[in-house]
Chains A and B, each alone.
Chain A
Amino acid sequence: MTAIVKVFIPRDSAALSVGAERVSKKLTQLAAEQDTVVDLVRNGSRGLFWLEPMVEVDTPEGRVAYGPVAPKDLPSLIEAGLLNNASPSDRQAHPLYLGLTEEIEYLKKQQRLTFARAGIIDPVSLTDYKSTHGYDGLVRALDMSSQALVDEVKDSGLRGRGGAAFPTGIKWQTVLNTPAEQKYIICNADEGDSGTFADRLQMEADPFALIEGMTIAGLAVEATQGYIYLREEYPHAKDILNEAIQVAEQNGYLGENILDSGKTFHLEVRIGAKAYICGEETALMESLEGKRGMVRPKPPLPAIEGLFGQPTVVNNVLSLSTIAIILAKGGKFYQEFGMGRSRGTMPFQLAGNLKYPGLVETAFGITMKELLFDFGGGTRSGRPMRSVQSGGPLGAYLPESQWHLEMDYEALSAEGAVLGHGGLVAFDDTVDMLEQARFSMEFCVEESCGKCTPCRIGSTRGVEVIDRIRADENRDDNLELLEDLCDTMVSGSLCAMGGMTPFPVQSALEHFGEDFQKPSNNQEAGQ
């Protein structure tokens, strides 16, 4: 009879997408064959995605990691002491051994506040959550007045992590000040930007933090109903959220009379239906009401007339999840991180052609270069990096000369760049920037809600003009036309969809103009 070994294999979508389920099944089978009792925890991912599937084992020295593990590696791992109390030196012998998880440089250099529990706990275990300071914030919030809660959030300096960076406390104040029979808290979990996955990771790795944050938001603005508007593309997140909500309800953390306080907060997950525009808050509310996701003109602000015409807080997953730690540790604590007007930490997401893609949460102010090279390790393909898109499909493409920029809302926007939801997508030198510009327009054709003309028609014309440039048809005139068109879309669109679609196009023109001057690549012209 051997001791019970605690093993962690993530159930996060990314880990599953590269075989975590197969690893888990195989390990269970092998352990049973040799009569080893394994306590298998399906945790979230630590966000070191190039190492997924990452298997962790609890040892007297702490949790140690192995990765990336394929099912075929397991017999040799077990031989090297994976499931025994092997000494660190014995474990080191295996090439997949990564040492103590907490000591992995990529993780150690981060400042994880929002993602403090990611990959550490079982995401749907309330016991795990509470043993890591979970619900400390709510317990404190229940003793505070609504105004004191709003003030705490204002003190933290937290700004909307969805991309717009509007001060969260000020939004809450407006909702608190607007009297109504029914108010709502909406979590915008329609994370549509390519290159971003922090919302998904948060929901799959630590759903209780989001639930706690939303409950606190409800107390702060006197709202009793919350909705998480989750994109259809995240089926695993849906399951985990629903599981966690049920656990919270059963244990008195959601529903009527929360923790015997007499306060009420109900929470429900609603699923989108594949429409990028529903990440825009007014389109999202239309969708929740059962309509086409058409953007509403503002004013009225959602904080005054939002869902079903009632005052509504709409916040991103990360903003709401961060509320939990702000209330647990205080606004001042959070405010001490960061630079300028960008306070706290930002979960940056390194994506695309990078050697070490993953989640890097750190204080604002780190440079893009540090993220791309010190963390990201340069391109995965080994070719020179040429272009980086920051802030999703509506963000500019940045050339090397701009990678020195500090990751801060104001510093980036001063250079025409976007921090947005914190995603960086790296491209090597095989990228054709004309094609990338064309894709931005094409994406807008697909995803425009159609309400305003510059976005609806402008994007279609944009694709056509770029096609003519590619075919070398009146190239100079068409380049000028494209710039005019971009100006029209920027100035004349109702929301960020049409208003920002030109950013990647303009930046491609400005910084990668040579790609718009290539000879026509019809079959005849090809080498």
Chain B
Amino acid sequence: MTAHSPEDIRKETRVYIFVFIALAALTVVTVGISYLDLSTGPAVALALFVALIKGSLVAAFFMHLLSERKLIYAVLVFTVFFFLALIFLPLGSFLNQVAG
């Protein structure tokens, strides 16, 4: 563990509280959006966008990815790439079916 002065750590805990408030607020926002009765496209895009922000907040601060080692980033970059392949390649194949 890298040496942090108690002062630094106290500062971090204040950040955690702010992140918590942001997460709570965004939860309310995303629920609010869902009552707007948007059409599917924008609704999905908005909901995913908000979820992405929330997820990034959790990962960046709670999982302290912001100050993580390069090696972890490398592992995660690979994982994200394969995750995207897993989501989009099957989807592509489904949308590109031969009729009949």
A binds B: no
Write the residues of chain A forming the contact surface with B, with a CB cutoff of 8 angstroms: none
